[in-house]
Amino acid sequence: MSRHADAAPTAKTQTRSDAILTCRDLSVEFTMDRGTSTVLNGLDIDIERNEIIGIVGESGSGKSMFASALLDAVVEPGVTTGTITYRPAEGREIDVLDRSDDQLQQLRWEDISMVFQGALSSFNPTLKLRGHFVETLEAHGYDVESGMERTHELLSDLYLDPGRVLGSYPHELSGGMKQRALIALSLVLEPDVLVMDEPTAALDLLMQRSIISLLSALREKYDLTMVFITHDLPLVTKLADRIGVLYAFELAEVSGTEELLRSPRHPYTRALLNSTPDIESPLAEMQPIEGSAPDPVDVPPGCPYHERCPLATADCAAVKPAMEAASETHDVACHYWERVPDEIDLTTEVSR
Amino acid sequence: MQQYYLERTLQAVITVVSVMTLAFFLLRLMPGNPADAYRAELIQNNPQLSQADIDHRVEQKLNVLPDAPLHEQYINYVAGLLQGDLGESINEGVPVSEIISEALPWTIFTMSLALLLSFAIGISFGAIMAYKEGSYFDNGLSVLSIFCNSIPNYIVGILSIWFLGYQLELFPTGGRYSTEMEPTVGLLEPIQTLAFLGDALWHASLLILSYTVVAAGGWALRMRGNSIQVLGEEYLRVARLRGLSERRIATRYVGRNAVLPLYTALLIAIGFALGGSVILEQVFTYPGVGYYMIEGLEARDYPLMMGVFLVMTVAVVLGVYIADLTYGLIDPRAQTRGGDHR
Ligand code: SF4
């Protein structure tokens, strides 16, 4: 966390010194028959160059929307508003949400790439793996020969046998192999940022762990920035430098991983941690948090968590808490964040 | 895998043998027993014939030895079939195999054209409908396809022959080709060959049209369903985000994944097309195998009827058999029972 130390502290959300992606007031809305559904509500977050940031949320918290929004790939009729600024290592800043189709086609996969939730069905079943790599290189005008050399290296980095994998149809590979091949495919155009939406959801525990360690190695080797989106808080603590907790389409808390585990400031984060009896235990043993997440069509005023929060006051129901800096590397959106550690005990043994 | 091939082969053989057996017993148990009837006719017309002569002629006609024990008759019959001996047509007085081999190319000609045409039209429209799912174009064509697919093709045939053939006199109302036409097919006489083929096509066009209109509707609906499913797949979204061109997505992703499952249906349709020709050829007085089937039926020409029936059955069995054996080669997704794959 030391490299965050020189970040300039501000009263509100901290602006990181070297953010590769800056999201401001990022929202996604769907207009439906029963009203407008806000599935991402005014997110402000900076993603720093070469960090791995974990975004944690329950299903229906808007985390997949956040992933899609980062590539301006929210499916119709969803509308993405706000700004996302991408700062490549060289060259000018790019406004992701304000690009023509051609420019977007170039940005996606070449600069910001993505591994999807449905990893196991992300390949064309009637096309061998090699075809997927070649067509991606061709579509972006990359040199196929050197691109395939890179593919071989990537696959080896992921402990796959390149010859065998490339000559196979998707169904001939196991889930874990497909998942790793998909990561290789997402990196074939040498992007700066890799967004992963539940990349390990369909895999067994052992495979999850091994992919996590492979991702760390890949980050070092290829200078990647990673956004790892998951519902699995214990898993992401193994990997992420920082963690953002999403609740009801808004960020509740963003903090360095260790600080978040040591002294979470948001009641929801505490509940999330306490629902895990032991940070090492599998997710299946988690205790559910009481109550349910709010409906995106009818988001209550005030703090989105107030209906489930043990500390909620009348104030909470009326006034939405702003993001405040609890420390240089810790932002939290709760009126009573200073009191939280005294009021809600952490029952979970935290370690990394 | 090997076991799968073995099973399929066995299945095909058993089917064919059962049909042969059925044919044999039908022939013997047919009302009025054709063998007895024919024998009585022979005795009446040729009182001077000896018993042996009569038996011989009956055997020649029906491929059945009337007085031998049943199992011997059966073996004899099947052995004959395997050598292509389908008996002799009672009315035409020539071997049934001859009639069939003369008529079969015409049926294959019309039916394969009709099948290919309907398949090509069907999958093209089906794919476009899927792309425009919910539009007026899609809704209109869906209704039309369902309508076309639900009327029997001989009704279309009767309507078209009445309207285009008799009323407007645009098309001939029967036959394979014009009487003044010399059937010529040869590389050395390209002009005559073309003229002949054109004339043949002109004679077959209404028949082909009737089959195509109905079948294309069915293909379109299936292709539409398959394509819509593929368009909703995760891998399609990923392909778009990877920046692939719409063209590549349409052919290599949507087209391929939606058409491949139709391969089996197409092969089976080829098998059934022979059977499908029966009524259509009757409507158009088009002397293909189906025409002779009805001919045989009407004239109680059992050998002819049975011969055509057997050929049609074998075609269906063969279509299904080939589809089973080759689907795994065509579609990488195909997995055989037992979970192992190619
Ligand atoms: S603002 Fe109020 S309701 Fe919201 S988390 Fe804090 S204490 Fe709970």
Q: For residues A130-167, b (16+ Cβ closer than 10 Å) or e, as one string?
A: bebbbbbbbbbebeeeebbebbbebbebbebebeebbe
Give the pLDDT mean for A112-126.
Answer: 86
Nearest to A125 among B242, B245, B333 (CB): B333
Number of CB atoms found within 10 A of residue B8's CB: 17
Give the number of domains in chain A.
1
- Report residue B334 as tokens: 């195909």
Mean pLDDT to the nearest integer, A124-132: 94
Please give the mean pLDDT across all residues of chain A. 86
Of all residues in chain A, the percent with pLDDT exceeding 70 is 88
DSSP per-residue codes, A34-102: TEEEEEEEEEEEEEETT-EEEEE--TTSSHHHHHHHHTT-PPTT-EEEEEEEE--SSS--EEGGG--HH
B237/A123 touch (CB, cutoff 8 Å), yes or no: no
Strand partners, A27: A81
Of A273, A282, A324, A287, which is closest to residue A303 (Cα–Cα)? A324
> Do the chains contact at B244 and A136, CB–CB below 8 Å?
yes
Per-residue pLDDT band for A6 (boundaries 50, 70, 90) equals: very low
Q: Is residue B46 part of a domain?
A: no
Radius of gyration of chain A (CA): 20
Name the H helices within A61-204.
63-70, 101-110, 129-139, 144-157, 162-166, 175-187
Structure confidence at residue A277 (pLDDT): 58
Which residues of B make CB contacts under 8 Å with A?
233-235, 237-239, 241-245, 248, 252-253, 256-257, 260, 331-333, 335, 341
pLDDT at A352 over 60: no
Interchain contact, A126 vs B332, CB within 8 Å: yes
pLDDT lower than 50: segments of chain B? 336-342
* CB-CB neighbors (< 8 A) of A139 in chain B: 242-245, 248
Residue A335 resides in a domain: yes
Nearest ligand 1 atom to the CA of A303 is 4
What pLDDT is attached to residue A286? 52
Please enumerate in sequence order all residues whose Cβ is within 8 A of that of B288, keeping only pairs 6 or more positions apart, or say none: B103, B104, B106, B107, B110, B277, B281
Answering whether pTM is above 0.90, one says no
Q: A313 lies in which domain range?
A: 264-343
User: Best interface-test mutation with A: which of B231, B241, B253, B340 has the largest number of A CBs within 10 A?
Assistant: B241
Query: For residue B143, what pLDDT is reported?
Result: 94
pLDDT digits (tens, 9 = 90+) for A227-267: 999 988 888 998 999 999 999 899 999 999 999 988 899 99
Q: Contact A266/A332 with Cβ under 8 angstroms?
A: yes
Residue A279 covered by a domain: yes
Mention every residue, 6+ apart, whose C-beta is less than 8 A from residue B339. none
Confidence of residue A8 (pLDDT cuts 50, 70, 90): very low
Residues A303, A307, A310, A311, CA torsion sign: positive
* pLDDT (0 to 100) of residue A15: 52
The 10s digit of each residue's pLDDT in A137-164 is 999 999 999 999 999 999 999 999 999 9
CA distance A153 to A162: 8
3-state secondary structure (DSSP) of residue B2: helix
Residue A291 domain-assigned (yes or no): yes
Cβ-based contacts of A131 with chain B (< 8 Å)? 252
Radius of gyration of chain B (CA): 25
CA distance linking residue B319 with residue B115, whole number of Å: 14
Q: List the domain range (segments joined by +) for residue B303.
A: 104-330
pLDDT in tens, B97-134: 888 888 888 898 899 999 999 999 999 999 999 999 99
Any residues with Cβ below 6 Å from ligand 1, and which? A 267, 303, 305-306, 309, 311-312, 316, 321, 334-336
Q: How far is CA A163 from CA A189, A343, B242, in A?
A: 20, 57, 23
Name the pLDDT band for A2 (thresholds 50, 70, 90).
very low
- Domains held by chain B: number: 1
Given a contact cutoff of 8 angstroms between Cβ atoms, the answer to whether A231 and A42 are in contact is: no
Q: What's the CATH number where B168 sits?
A: 1.10.3720.10
Which residue is closest to A117 within chain B, CA to CA? B234
Q: Cα–Cα distance between A273 and A344 in angstroms, integer?
A: 11
- Asked if the structure places residue B5 within a domain, the reply is no
Q: Calculate how far, in angstroms, residue A267's C-alpha sits from the geometric centre of ligand 1.
A: 7
Cβ neighbour number for residue B200 with a 10 Å cutoff? 20
What is the pLDDT, as a whole number, of residue A5? 41
Note the pLDDT tens digit of each residue in B313-323: 888 888 888 88
Mean pLDDT for the stretch of residues A93-105 = 90
Contacts of A109 in chain B (CB under 8 A): 241-243
> Which ligand 1 atom minimizes the distance to the CA of A304?
4
Chain B interface test: which of A103, A109, A124, A194 (most B C-beta within 10 Å): A124
Top-confidence residue, B265 or A54: A54
Q: What is the dihedral of CA B155, B161, B164, B167, to 10 degrees?
A: -110
Q: Does residue A282 form part of some domain?
A: yes
> Which value does ipTM take for this structure?
0.84
Of A108, A136, A171, the CB nearest to B333: A171
Asked if pLDDT for residue A10 goes beyond 50, the answer is no
Interface touch A169/B332, C-beta < 8 Å: yes
Amino acid at A194: L
In a domain, B79, yes or no: no
* pLDDT given for residue A3 in this prediction: 41
Residue A205: pLDDT band with limits 50, 70, 90: confident
Which residues of B fall within a CB distance of 8 Å from A169? 332-333
